[in-house]
């Protein structure tokens, strides 16, 4: 346990540096993009003097390093700047939009794990059965479908043809179903397949035969010795899949007019609204780094072999 | 041996595995009894079907590890035919009255659970209280002579040496006082000094717990040391069975004789079977006549057409060989 704590602390420090590196990179990329938002304001009243004044007001005339340091300091104080398009505070904007995004991503993640793991276990245990073959073929299709395509397909089927569910918007439980399905189905298919193949692998390991030989019932063998072992890589992959899900949520929120950070990011990019884009990407980076850090620490927690290895490396 | 009680009675055991080249007969019409309290050794070179036979008896061959397999015959144990029991019924036999130690202890324990817990898990199947069960784990770890049992209980398998893991396995399988212990090459993966200790342990426990042991090995040194009776298996069939003196003093089957001849004089622990010329026949082929014919120095005409039956030539000594069954006294070398 001590080894693991040391590793966890080290891993968290590492994460902080990763986040810092990403902020620098992010800042650099934004500044290498051609054009600035002032040029986008296509107004006849905008003469040289006004442009310069506006640039100065937004700090766009300072050297990039200074702009970065200012920005970073403010970020640490919780101030992510103001939107260039409407002057609103970015933190306030994000705080308003984040719940909607968390709503669909967390639901999608929960579904992904709770549905895919039992189904994957069943498919692996009953390899070759009708259920298994169905699971394999359905997941193959789902994994290959891009989000936008799946989203539009679901809209056409459930919202347009059968009029069962709303096309878009954020109104109650019903409006949650299609975006969550769009977001979760590909990831669910991946998790199911991973669980299935891990289960198949563990089932062939000798210690499973030992568990049977000592008199454990099949269900106990399956839960304690097959699923438990298969869950190590599945859980880790689950946390590593969070970034993909966040990426997917940008597309899904745009399709379903979901008032979350994903759609906000889309709009901000189109409007070259630097502060908003930076704020959101920073948020995404944080979520990604946090989830992968949890994933890494969890591997050690779940598997004593990895724990021992980590201990060796720390020492 | 006289008409002692039988601990296990295997009748016409037949095992076929599905392979890409067709069905392979790993075990053919094998019949033998293990008497109560004895150590019965099954000897034969690698791939002759020893492990398959033991796994079939334990009900460990299933659609997952051997899709498309077929098992025939009967295995009588405590008045039941194990081969006709349901999986549910089999769960009451496995571990409780029938224990098994596996060929390779290195990956026979789950790497994610502590050694003590894996033994504990078996003990609590008998509806024993938690505290009592843990006490029993400690007692077993002591009994199998694991040094510092308390610490070993908390160790993960990968923190234990091969010998320690084999002791944990033995403890686990003895946890519920089985009537019969199947030990599949319990010492093959261990180094020589540990081998001796593990064998002594099995001997001592057999005496203390009054159980029978079915010992699978390809080491004649071990056989000479601890077995009461011996069966020799070749390519899925039993070719000879006798008490340990009979096998060493008067081996009748040419295969057994070749195995004996290949042993160094005065062997002790290094009594591994030397490879003898030739290969095991392809198990997917239907072979008329004797399966050992191709490698046999004493073969006669009838060997090509008729498979020899396992017949009793002297009391307690069975041989499956046309030549050995007819020739009395000394056999040609
Ligand atoms: N699950 C399986 N599927 C297909 N063939 C198998 C399976 N298990 C065993 N066999 C085959 O059955 C034959 C007997 O194997 P078995 O493991 O019983 O031999 P063994 O006498 O225990 O050998 P060893 O001394 O190497 O342990 C071999 O030809 C092997 O390839
Ligand atoms: Mg074997």
Burial class (CB in 10 A: 0-12, 13-18, 19+), A158: middle
Question: Measured between alpha carbons, how far is B199 from A275 in angstroms, rounded to an integer?
Answer: 75
| Spatial distance between the Cα atoms of A99 and A89, rounded to a whole number of angstroms | 17
Q: The tokens 């850090």 sit on which residue? A: A293
> Do B140 and B119 form a contact (C-beta atoms < 8 A)?
yes
Residue B253 has pLDDT above 50, yes or no: yes
Strand partners, B158: none
Pick from A121, A215, A226, A310 the residue to mutate for testing the B interface (most B CBs within 10 Å): A215
Distance (Å, whole) CA B90 – CA B96: 10
Among residues B7, B14, B44, B16, which one has the least CA distance to residue B29? Answer: B14
| Subunit contact A214:B175, Cβ cutoff 8 A | yes
* C-alpha torsion sign, points B156, B159, B162, B168: negative
Rounded percentage of chain A residues whose pLDDT exceeds 70: 92
What is residue A314's predicted lDDT score, i.e. its pLDDT? 44
Of A76-80, A177-181, A304-308, B327-331, the poorest mean pLDDT is in: B327-331
Tokens of residue A88, six digits? 């609103």
Q: What is the mean pLDDT of residues B119-138?
A: 94
- The pLDDT assigned to A27 comes to 80
Q: Is the pLDDT of residue B181 over 90?
A: yes
**Given pLDDT bands bounded at 50, 70 and 90, which one contains residue B267?**
very low
**Contact between chains at A213 and B100 (C-beta distance less than 8 A):** yes
Q: Return the closest-CA partner of residue A153 out of A176, A131, A185.
A: A185
Superfamily per CATH, domain A91-270: MetI-like (1.10.3720.10)
Partner residue facing A304 (CB), from B95, B118, B156: B156
Q: Which amino acid residue places its CA nearest to atom 31 of ligand 1?
A: B47
The residue-averaged pLDDT of B205-232 equals 90
Distance of CA A206 to the CA centre of its chain: 36
Would you say residue A44 has pLDDT above 70? no
Distances (CA, A) of B121 to A182, B116, B134, B144, B317: 43, 9, 10, 18, 42
CA atoms within 13 A of residue B74's CA, in its CB half-sphere: 9
Cβ–Cβ gap B110/A229 under 8 Å: yes
Mutation choice for B interface testing from A214, A219, A310 by most B CBs within 10 A: A214
**Contact check, Cβ <8 Å, B108/A206:** yes
Nearest to B27 by CA among B55, B60, B63: B55
pLDDT at A49 over 60: yes
Residues A12 and A35: their CA atoms lie apart, in Å, by: 37
CB-based contacts of A218, cutoff 8 Å, min separation 6:
A212, B87, B91
Whole-number Å distance, alpha carbon B224 to ligand 2 midpoint, is 20
Give the pLDDT score at B269. 45
Q: Which of B241, B198, B155, B142 is nearest to A304 (CA)?
A: B155
* pLDDT above 90: residue B39: yes
Maximum average pLDDT range among A129-133, A284-288, B45-49, B297-301: A129-133
Q: How far is B86 from chain A (nearest CA, A)?
A: 12
**Chain B positions in Cβ-Cβ contact with residue A128 (cut-off 8 Å):** 67
CA atoms within 13 A on the CB side of B142: 7
The DSSP string of B156-208 is -GGGS-HHHHHHHHHHHHHTT--SEEEEESTTTTS-HHHHHHHHHHHHHHHHH
Ligand nearest to the CA of B218: 1
Ligand that comes closest to the CA of residue B42: 1
pLDDT at position B25 is: 93
Q: Which atom of ligand 1 is nearest to the CA of B19?
A: 4
What backbone torsions phi and psi does residue B71 show, to the nearest 5 degrees?
A: -125, 130
pLDDT computed for residue A36 by the predictor: 63
In tens, the pLDDT along A59-115 reads 777 788 888 888 788 888 888 878 888 888 989 999 999 999 998 999 999 999 999
pLDDT beyond 90 at B288: no
Facing residue for A214 by CB, picked from B88, B111, B172: B172
Q: Quick one: average pLDDT of A224-249?
A: 91
Average pLDDT over residues A224-230: 96
- DSSP per-residue string spanning chain A: -HHHHHHHHHHHHHHHHHHHHHHHHHHHHHHHSSS-HHHH---TT--HHHHHHHHHHHTTTS-HHHHHHHHHHHHHTT---B-TTT--BHHHHHHHHHHHHHHHHHHHHHHHHHHHHHHHHHHHHTTTSHHHHHHHHHHHHHHHS-HHHHHHHHIIIIIIIS--S-SSS--HHHHHHHHHHHHHHHHHHHHHHHHHHHHHHHHTSHHHHHHHHTT--HHHIIIIIIIHHHHHHHHHHHHHTHHHHHHHHHHHHHHTT--SHHHHHHHHHHTT-HHHHHHHHHHHHHHHHHHHHHHHHHHHHH-HHHHHHHHHHH-
Most confident of the ranges A22-26, A94-98, A226-230 = A226-230
Residue-averaged pLDDT of chain A: 87
The whole-number average pLDDT for the span B166-185 is 91
Q: How confident is the model at residue A125 (pLDDT cuts 50, 70, 90)?
A: very high
Q: What is the pLDDT of residues A166-215, one digit of tens each?
A: 877 777 788 888 999 999 999 999 999 999 999 999 999 999 999 999 99
Predicted TM-score (pTM) of this structure: 0.85
B residues 80-119 near A, CB within 8 Å? 87-88, 91-92, 94-96, 99-100, 102, 104, 107-112, 118
Q: Is the pLDDT of residue B274 over 60?
A: no
To test the pocket of ligand 1, the residue of B17, B69, B235, B283 to mutate (highest count of ligand atoms within 8 Å of its CB) is: B17
- What residue segments make up the domains of chain A, in order of their start? 1-85+273-287+304-315, 91-270
- Please tell me the predicted confidence (pLDDT) of residue A42: 61
Q: Find out whether A108 and A186 touch, Cβ atoms under 8 Å.
A: no
Q: Which of A212, A218, A226, A229 to mutate to test the interface with B (most CBs of B within 10 A)?
A: A212
pLDDT at A6: 84
- Is any Cβ of chain B less than 8 angstroms from the Cβ of A129? no
Give me ligand 2 centre to Cα B185, in Å.
Answer: 7
Band of residue B266 on the pLDDT scale cut at 50, 70, 90: very low
**pLDDT at A145 > cutoff 70:** yes
Q: Say whether pLDDT at A51 is over 90.
A: no
Output the CA angle B137-B142-B147, nearest 5 degrees: 115
pLDDT at B328: 63
Over residues A48-65, mean pLDDT: 78
The complex scores an ipTM of 0.89
Interface touch A204/B158, C-beta < 8 Å: no
Q: Which atom of ligand 1 is nearest to the CA of B55?
A: 18
How many angstroms separate the CA atoms of B169 and A23, rounded? 54
Q: How far apart are the first and last CA of chain B?
A: 28
Contacts of A228 in chain B (CB under 8 A): 112
The CA-based angle A173-A280-A33, given to 5 degrees, is 135
Which tens digit of pLDDT belongs to each residue from A177-191? 899 999 999 999 999
| CB pair distance less than 8 Å for A216 and B125 | yes
Confidence at residue B155, expressed as pLDDT on a 0 to 100 scale: 95
pLDDT at residue B210, rounded to an integer = 86
What average pLDDT does the structure give for chain B? Answer: 88
pLDDT of the residue at B33: 96
């Amino acid at each position: 346990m001590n080894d693991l704590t040391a590793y966890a602390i080290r891993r968290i420090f590492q994460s902080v540096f990763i986040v810092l590196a990403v902020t620098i990179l992010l800042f650099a990329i934004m500044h290498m993009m051609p054009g600035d938002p002032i040029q986008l304001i296509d107004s006849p009243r905008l003469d040289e003097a006004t442009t310069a004044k506006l640039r100065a007001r937004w700090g766009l005339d300072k050297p990039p390093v200074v702009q970065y340091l200012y920005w970073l300091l403010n970020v640490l104080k919780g101030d992510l700047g103001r939107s260039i398009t409407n002057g609103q505070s970015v933190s306030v904007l994000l705080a308003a939009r984040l719940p909607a995004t968390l709503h669909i991503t967390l639901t999608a993640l929960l579904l992904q794990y709770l549905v895919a793991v039992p189904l994957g276990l069943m498919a692996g245990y009953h390899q070759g059965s009708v259920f298994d073959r169905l699971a394999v073929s359905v997941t193959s299709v789902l994994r290959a479908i891009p989000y936008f395509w799946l989203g539009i397909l679901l809209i056409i089927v459930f919202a347009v043809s059968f009029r069962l569910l709303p096309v878009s918007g954020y109104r109650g439980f019903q409006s949650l179903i299609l975006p969550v399905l769009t977001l979760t189905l590909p990831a669910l298919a991946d998790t199911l397949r991973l669980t299935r193949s891990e289960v198949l692998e563990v089932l062939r390991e000798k210690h499973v035969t030992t568990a049977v030989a000592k008199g454990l019932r099949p269900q106990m063998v399956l839960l304690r010795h097959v699923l438990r072992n298969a869950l190590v890589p599945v859980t880790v992959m689950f946390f590593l899949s969070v970034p993909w899900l966040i990426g997917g949520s940008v597309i899904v929120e745009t399709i379903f007019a979901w008032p979350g950070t994903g759609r906000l990011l889309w709009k901000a990019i189109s409007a070259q609204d630097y502060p908003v884009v930076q704020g959101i990407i920073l948020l995404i980076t944080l979520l990604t780094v946090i989830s992968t850090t949890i994933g890494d620490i969890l591997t050690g927690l779940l598997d004593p072999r990895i724990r021992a290895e980590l201990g060796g490396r720390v020492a | 041996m006289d008409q002692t009680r039988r601990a296990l009675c295997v009748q016409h055991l037949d095992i076929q595995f599905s392979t890409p080249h067709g069905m392979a007969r790993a075990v053919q019409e094998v019949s033998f009894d293990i008497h109560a309290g004895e150590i019965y050794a099954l000897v034969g070179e690698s791939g002759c079907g020893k492990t398959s036979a033991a796994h079939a008896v334990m009900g460990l061959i299933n659609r997952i590890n051997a899709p498309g397999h077929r098992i025939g015959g009967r295995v009588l144990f405590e008045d039941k035919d194990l081969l006709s029991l349901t999986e549910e019924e089999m769960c009451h036999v496995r571990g409780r009255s029938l224990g098994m130690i596996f060929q390779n202890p290195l990956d026979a324990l789950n790497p994610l659970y502590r050694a003590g817990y894996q033994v504990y898990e078996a003990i609590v199947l008998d509806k024993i209280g938690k505290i009592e069960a843990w006490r029993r784990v400690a007692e077993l770890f002591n009994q199998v002579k694991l040094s510092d049992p308390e610490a070993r209980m908390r160790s993960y398998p990968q923190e234990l040496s091969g010998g320690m893991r084999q002791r944990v396995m033995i403890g686990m399988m003895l946890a519920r006082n089985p009537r019969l212990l199947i030990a599949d090459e319990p010492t093959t993966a261990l180094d020589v000094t540990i081998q001796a200790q593990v064998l002594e342990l099995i001997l001592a426990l057999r005496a203390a717990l009054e159980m029978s042991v079915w010992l699978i090995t390809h080491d004649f040194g071990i056989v000479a040391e601890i077995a009461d009776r011996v069966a020799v298996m070749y390519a899925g069939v039993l070719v000879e069975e006798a008490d340990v003196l009979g096998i060493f003093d008067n081996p009748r089957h040419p295969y057994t004789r070749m195995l004996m001849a290949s042993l160094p004089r005065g062997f002790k622990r290094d009594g591994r079977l030397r490879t003898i010329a030739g290969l095991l026949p392809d198990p997917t082929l239907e072979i008329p006549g004797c399966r050992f014919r191709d490698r046999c120095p004493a073969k006669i005409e009838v060997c090509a057409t008729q498979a020899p039956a396992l017949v009793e030539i002297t009391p307690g000594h069975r041989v499956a060989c046309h030549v050995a069954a007819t020739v009395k006294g000394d056999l040609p070398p």
